[in-house]
Chains A and B, each alone.
Chain A
Amino acid sequence: MSNAKANILAKLKKQLQGAERLELSAEPVAEPEVLNQTQNVETFVQLLSANHAEVLCITRDEIAATVKTQLQKRNIDRLMCGTPWVETLQAIESEITLNTFYPVIDGHKEALFNTVPAAITGSHCGIAATGSIVLWPTPEEPRTLSLVPPVHIVVVERNAICNDLATAMKTQAWKAQLPTNVVLVSGPSKTADIQQTLAYGAHGPRELVVLLIGHSK
């Protein structure tokens, strides 16, 4: 079976003989519509809302209170958060039980799947053109934190919203530093697999609450 690689490559190379000099026309340059930051934020909010996410425009100081209100509205009294959020959320600890992630997931999968109703994470940036949030998981904010709990609250900085994916990749030089996993999230989990009828909460979070943070409202 170790020959499979050699065989496949040999076949492909042989078949390309003569063809590799085939001239291809120049690829058209895609010029994305460039919007100003206010328009970008508007588009971002509009697209995410259309995809069933709840977007709340607040200031940094309002995070803790907003999280509390959102959880209480859903009758949730506990929240799992990455370590960067512990300090911010201390203010609501009397009413909401705060847990941080396990030292490692191994041995805690059952607990994560069955006892954590909601989680909060930050984000890397936002993408206006598609209404997407870029999650860039770290040891402080592991991948399953934004995936397993049924409610995902995510904090997005207003000034971290980029025009489109291609621009974000280029200006932030993604290719030099891709982490274990990057995920673009554009709404709560959904499916239309049964009779083309949209249903939310297929496997990932049923609800996505976006806290859009800016200097002013």
Chain B
Amino acid sequence: MTADTIATDGSKYAASARQFRANVARDLADPALRENFRGAMDYLMEKRKQAFPSEEELESLRRKCQLIKQRCLLKLPELLEQLESKLVQNGIQVHWAETTAEANTIIAELIQRQNGTKVVKGKSMVSEETALNDHLQARGIECLETDMGEYIVQLAGEHPSHIIMPAIHQNKSQVAKLFAEHLPDFSLASETATDVDTLIQTGRQVLRDKFCQADVGITGVNFAVAETGTLCLVENEGNGRMTSTVPEMHIAITGIEKVVEFLDDVPPLLSLLTRSATGQIISTYFNMISHPRQPGEKDGPREVHLVLLDNGRSQAFADEELRQTLQCIRCGACMNHCPVYTRIGGHAYGTVYPGPIGKIVSPHMLGLEATKDLPTASSLCGACGEVCPVKIPIPKILLRLRQESVKPPGEPIVVKGQGCNRKPLEAGIWQLWRWLNTSPTLYRAVMWLASRGRWLTPKKAGAWTSVRTLPKPARRSLHELVKQREKHRGNR
């Protein structure tokens, strides 16, 4: 593909989300992939369970963090302004972007102003949203992922299949093969080639040179503290520290919902985040960045920038129920516990964010038209809502989005693309069903007809009967049976 045929903003995900059904069929048929996901999800569920020994403490912490996020969302516009003014006061420059294309343009301009050609990136799902790597590559800027999982995924030309563990769909043999293909010094002939330690040390060696030479570092943000103008970054590998410390310029990018009001809001959210995500009581590193390099300091970036991205978040914000989507702290617990995600894996969704949270956040980013199948891909078992650290009622929101997708035309727009799944036949059937069930005479007449004409019931009814038998109406309706019985009694 040439540079000008790649959509270098987030719009490319709309096309892959439309392929959901085909993707699911493809990935369900891949036994290795299913084994990798099953193993990983079992591991992560167990780790989370061990991290919360007290049910009571977990509940109280969830409630607290839910309320913290709800408070911060209710004050969102003023907190964003406070965050900006504090950051500017601290010497950090703030940029606002409504769309993914705008965010990419801002970042590319910052890098070009620095005459930068080499960029290292810490883990950032928001930069995946904007397809930043494609955008920079098309402008001759190398943008290298440095999180080990992201690095593997980038080498393979793929996208993350999990928001916390991006390369969860690959096992160590697959990674070794990938390294052998791409890294000149790595050979599969070595006995230890498929050892995880060997693989990680190989990645470390390659990436250390890159950190050392990079002009610009790009990271995400876990919490942006309005009160102090501080950007918090949670990580285990040290690539977040490297990326935000070694290059001359650090650019952080985040969604507008990541702002919290007080510094005191951070400890409970941090504790809940790492425990829900990987079962760690804290990550190896927790960075709190408040300034660029100050006079007299010997290292650190000379410029720090924050890009605040909307990309559909303000649409979710408008509706009180859908606003809860923005409480998300991106721990991934919902996908770890989702029976659908475990079976189909992260790539089938076709969106940046897979799993339950992806199903409720993607419609705002890509429109319901492209994502209409996602809210239906749930058994509504409720596991996601039960483990969500900030108590987002995911199953309820899935139902709500299903309703939005079949809304009749002419109603005020709540979600872009609403009504896209409305089919005249289906709508007509429900209309009929409503008449039938609100008019006793009509109901009885139709029941009479159905019971007398039961021999007309077809054997097959499309996809529905591929795994089920179509029920036949009874010989007599319950009404009739009861009436008969009463008559019989009266005769006695």
Chain A positions within 8 Å of B, measured between CB atoms, are 1, 4-5, 7-9, 11-13, 15-16, 19-20, 22, 24-28, 30, 47, 51, 101-105, 109-110, 113, 129-132, 137, 139, 142-144, 147-148, 164-166, 169-170, 174-175, 178-197, 199, 201-205
| Majority secondary structure of chain B interface residues (helix, strand, loop or mixed) | helix
Can you give 28 contacting A-B residue pairs, CB < 8 Å?
A: A7-B98, A8-B256, A11-B318, A24-B70, A28-B63, A28-B67, A110-B212, A131-B281, A139-B297, A139-B298, A142-B300, A144-B245, A164-B267, A169-B264, A175-B263, A178-B263, A179-B290, A186-B282, A189-B284, A192-B165, A192-B278, A195-B36, A201-B201, A202-B236, A202-B237, A204-B237, A204-B241, A205-B238
**In the complex, A59 Cα to B211 Cα: how many Å?**
37
0/1 string, B181-209, CB within 8 A of A gives 1: 00000000000000011011101100111
How far, in Å, is B29 (CB) from chain A's closest CB? 22
CB-CB < 8 A to A190: which residues of B?
236-237, 284
Q: How far is the CB of A157 from chain B (nearest CB, A)?
A: 20
**A102 / chain B contacts, CB cutoff of 8 Å:** 298
Give chain A residues whose Cβ lies under 8 Å from the Cβ of B256: 8, 12
Which chain B residue lies CB-closest to A184?
B286
Most chain A CB neighbours (cut-off 10 Å) among B98, B211, B267, B281 = B267
> Is B355 part of the binding interface, using a Cβ–Cβ cutoff of 8 Å?
no
Q: Which of A19, A165, A187 sits near B270, CB closer than 8 Å?
A: A165
Determine whether B287 belongs to the interface, using a CB cutoff of 8 Å to chain A.
yes
Assess whether B366 is interfacial by the CB under 8 Å rule. Answer: no
Answer whether residue B368 sits at the interface, using C-beta atoms and an 8 A cutoff: no
State the CA gap A170–B268 with chains docked (Å): 14
Query: Which chain A positions have C-beta within 8 A of B146?
Result: 203
B311 to chain A, nearest CB (A): 10
Contact B238 A20 (CB under 8 A): no
Q: Which of B165, B211, B278, B288: most chain A CB closer than 10 A?
A: B288
Looking across the interface, which residue of chain A has its beta carbon closest to that of B165? A193
**Contacts A8-B314, A30-B61, A181-B300 given: A189-B96 contact, CB under 8 Å?**
no
| Interface check B171, CB cutoff 8 A | yes
With both chains docked as a complex, state the minimum distance between the C-beta of A126 and any C-beta of chain B, in angstroms.
13
Which residues of the other chain, B, contact A1 by a CB distance below 8 angstroms?
A: 97, 102, 105-106
Contact B102–A142 (Cβ < 8 Å): no
Any chain A CB within 8 A of the CB of B111?
no
A16 and B74 contacting across the interface, CB-CB below 8 Å = yes
Verify if B40 is at the interface (C-beta below 8 Å from A).
Answer: yes
B263–A174 contact, CB under 8 A? yes
Q: What is the CA–CA distance of A21 and B102 in the complex, to the nearest angstrom?
A: 33
14 additional A-B residue pairs with CB within 8 Å, beyond A104-B299, A175-B263, A202-B203: A22-B320, A24-B67, A28-B63, A105-B246, A110-B212, A144-B246, A147-B241, A175-B228, A194-B149, A195-B39, A201-B201, A201-B204, A203-B208, A203-B211
Minimal beta-carbon separation of A189 from chain B (angstroms):
4
**Interchain CA distance A24-B81 in the complex, whole Å:** 22
Question: Size of chain B's interface in residues, with CB distance under 8 A?
Answer: 99
Q: A30-B61, A166-B267 are in contact. Are A195 and B196 (CB under 8 A)?
A: yes
Asked whether B68 lies within 8 Å of A27 as measured between CB atoms, the reply is yes
Checking B76, B168, B267, B290 against A169 with a beta-carbon cut-off of 8 angstroms, the contacting residue is: B267
- How far does the Cβ of B257 sit from chain A's closest Cβ, in whole Å? 10
| Contact of B96 with A180 in the complex, beta carbons under 8 Å | no
Known: A195-B196, A203-B239. A130 touches B245 (CB 8 A): no
In contact, B40 and A196 (Cβ under 8 angstroms): yes
State whether A8 touches B98 (Cβ < 8 A).
yes
Q: How far is the CB of B43 from chain A (nearest CB, A)?
A: 5
The minimal Cβ–Cβ distance linking B442 to chain A, given in whole angstroms, is 42
Interface residues of B in 58-87 (CB under 8 A from A): 60-61, 63-64, 67-68, 70-71, 74-77, 80-81, 84
Residues of the A chain whose Cβ atoms lie less than 8 Å from the Cβ of B67: 24-28
Across chains A and B, the number of contacting residue pairs, with CB separation under 8 Å, is 253
Q: How far is the CB of B406 from chain A (nearest CB, A)?
A: 24
Q: Are A113 and B267 in contact (CB under 8 A)?
A: no
Residue of B nearest to A180 (CB): B291
Contact partner of B292 (CB less than 8 A), chosen from A144, A170, A180, A184, is: A180
| Interface flag for B294 (CB, 8 Å) | yes
Q: Is the CB of B74 within 8 A of A27?
A: no
Within the complex, what minimum Cβ distance (angstroms) separates B320 from chain A?
Answer: 7
Q: Are A9 and B298 interface neighbours, CB within 8 A? A: no
Q: Are A202 and B310 in contact (CB under 8 A)?
A: no
Complex: A130 Cα to B268 Cα, angstroms = 12
Which residues from B are CB-within-8-Å of A27? 63-64, 67-68, 71
* B residues near A130, Cβ cutoff 8 Å: 271, 281-282
**Chain B residues with CB under 8 A of A178:** 228, 230, 263, 288, 290
Bound CA span A26–B417, Å: 37
Contacts of A129 in B (CB 8 A): 281
CA distance A139 to B299 in the complex (A): 8
* Contacts known (A193-B165, A202-B204); A183 close to B64, Cβ less than 8 A: no
B285 sits at the interface (CB 8 A):
yes
**Residues A139 and B296 in contact, CB atoms below 8 Å apart:** yes
User: Could you say which residues of chain A place their CB within 8 Å of the CB of B80?
Assistant: 8-9, 12
Tell whether B152 is near chain A: CB-to-CB under 8 Å.
Answer: yes
Given contacts A113-B212, A179-B290, whether A4 and B102 have CB atoms under 8 Å apart is yes
Residue of A19, A170, A187 touching B74 (CB-CB under 8 A): A19
- The reply to whether A197 and B317 form a contact with Cβ atoms under 8 Å apart is no
Taking CB atoms and an 8 Å cut-off, the chain B residues in 199-231 that contact chain A are 199-201, 203-204, 207-209, 211-213, 227-228, 230
Find the B residue at minimum CB distance from A14: B318
Asked whether, in the complex, the Cβ of A195 is within 8 Å of the Cβ of B171, the reply is yes
A20 to B70, CA, bound (A): 11
Complex Cα–Cα for A139 and B102 (A): 37
Contacts of A103 in B (CB 8 A): 298
Tell me whether B375 is interfacial, beta carbon within 8 Å: no
Q: Which 8 A-B pairs have the closest CB atoms?
A: A204-B238, A193-B149, A202-B237, A130-B282, A203-B238, A105-B299, A5-B96, A189-B238
Asked if B148 is an interface residue, CB under 8 A from chain A, the answer is yes
* A113 contacts B211, C-beta separation under 8 Å: yes
Assembly CA distance A45 to B242 (angstroms):
27
| A186-B284 contact given A178-B228, A193-B148, CB 8 Å threshold | yes
With both beta carbons as reference points, the residue of chain A lying nearest to B227 in the complex is identified as A175
Q: How far is the CA of A13 from the CA of B75 in the complex (A)?
A: 9
User: Are the CB atoms of A199 and B200 closer together than 8 Å?
Assistant: yes
Q: Which residues of chain B are within 8 angstroms of A143 by Cβ–Cβ distance?
A: 241, 245, 299-300
